[in-house]
Chain A
Amino acid sequence: MTSPYPLLSILGIVIGALSIAASLIYVERRLLALWQDRYGPNRTGYFGLLQVVADAIKIFMKEDWVAPFADKPVFILAPAVIFVTVLMSFAVLPVAPGIIVSDLNVGLLFFLAMSSLGVYSVVLAGWSSDNKYALLGGMRAAAQMLSYEVFMGLSLMGVVVLAGSFSLPAIVEAQRKMWFVIPQFPGFVLFLIAGLAETRRIPFDLSEAESELVAGYHSEYSGMKFGMFFVGEYMGITLISGMISVLFFGGWLGPVFPGVVWFFIKTFVFISLFILLRAALPRPRFDQLMSWGWKVMLPLALVNVLLAGAAVLLWR
């Protein structure tokens, strides 16, 4: 089921992903303000909507400085890596029937592979900056990704077992009777936590941890290179939210409205949830994070796979 107009849907998804990521700057600030009894940016344009434009102009005008002690090629490459890997993952994200760049039959594995590659960006940025805080941030990111990547994949195996396919449109179609969040609730929770860790959002932002590591891996970055990390992070949020809605909440399936609308509603709900978690939760200690990942989440994910497999064997 590939799109009838492949170029059109490629363009649509790239532009859509980028503009959603850009507008998330505004959405996040407004929502954080909402939960902190403030208003957030409301001066530039109607409801502060032009804040995105103002931020973009500002960040493009900034001096694009490369530290003299940095490993220059790697330093420049690192922000591009996160951008490219996240954008590549969007290729397998089914927005609506027919609106997908590439319906790979291993779409889910491709997504997992690309999100694992994304960690190179952070590690290389931390390494090439030649700065102890950046390096610590990069190392933390590497360890965190390694341990959370493991059960991220495992948490999705329940969905794969139920749907009988790695292809994301097929997984959505398999949810016509029931969203997978109901039989696979533990898988959903595990994937949500792993996705949070994957995007390095606030409860799991130990790689930036401004109160301990200045700004972590992007301490030495400025201007649009820093902006690339930021946009990459926001695109990561969009991607993980989209993935949650596709894998557990039936993607484009829904009454009355067309599929695209349902997909965006569901995705936006999870984006808001990510921002709410940022507003609510403190950052755990690093050893807590690791032991939580290996000692709690990984066994839970394994048990979940076991039970899902057993259930499918019994009732099919």
Chain B
Amino acid sequence: MFSILRTIWYVFLHAFQKRITVQYPEQKPYLAPRYRGRIVLSRDPDGGERCVACNLCAVACPVGCIALQATEDENGRRYPDFFRINFSRCIFCGYCEEACPTYAIQLTPDFEMGEFHRKNLVYEKKDLLIDGPGKYPGYNFWRVAGVQIGGKNKGEAAHESPPVDVRSLLP
């Protein structure tokens, strides 16, 4: 009997406590930098596309919402011809970001993607590409990778020594 009255009193005291509601549209909640929200495709510090169209993100995606087609430019750089994410399927698990070998695909702290038509939730490459490098400012895949492309021969990448001449006997 006493505990019932005490309960009523304690619940009444809650009237004077701080509200825990976040008044959302006016008052934004804090989102951590690693929050898994809208997916973007980032660029090199030089401005080139990071994505090399390796399809690992599409393979890792548990709901199969990523579609892309690989192609090559005149320098031999692979890039996606089209890159399409269907956000009406995406579950924002972040596996694509983990799978990406070039830090190209990244999840951002933004979730305000509401649309009135479902087809507007299919984002094309022009919607996904951002101008900056995202979470990894200094990273440039083609500068550190050993792949030969136009303007960068074998052995010219960062931290890379020139290739060994297998026909020479010198050490």
**What residues of chain A have their CB less than 8 Å away from a CB belonging to chain B?**
34-39, 276-277, 279-281
Contact = CB atoms under 8 A, between A and B. Distances in A.
Interface residues of B, number: 14
A280 B15 CA distance: 12
7 closest cross-chain pairs (CB), A and B: A280-B11, A280-B8, A35-B14, A37-B20, A39-B21, A34-B15, A280-B7
A38 B24 CA distance: 13
B7 A37 contact: no
A37 B12 CA distance: 11
Interface of B: 4, 7-8, 10-12, 14-15, 17-21, 23
A281 B1 CA distance: 12
In terms of DSSP, what is the predominant structure of the interface of chain B? helix
B76 to A, nearest CB: 56
A219 to B, nearest CB: 29
A87 B160 CA distance: 89
B14 A277 contact: no
A39 B18 contact: no
A276 B7 CA distance: 10
Given A34-B15, A35-B12, A35-B14, A281 B7 contact: yes
A35 B12 CA distance: 6
Contact of B15 (A35, A39, A277, A281): A35
Nearest to A42: B23
Contacts of B11: 35, 276, 279-280
A111 to B, nearest CB: 26
B14 A39 contact: no
Contacts of B17: 37
A36 B19 CA distance: 8
A281 B8 contact: yes
A277 B23 contact: no
28 contacts: A34-B15, A35-B11, A35-B12, A35-B14, A35-B15, A36-B14, A37-B14, A37-B17, A37-B18, A37-B19, A37-B20, A37-B21, A38-B19, A38-B20, A38-B21, A39-B19, A39-B21, A39-B23, A276-B8, A276-B11, A276-B12, A280-B7, A280-B10, A280-B11, A280-B12, A281-B4, A281-B7, A281-B8
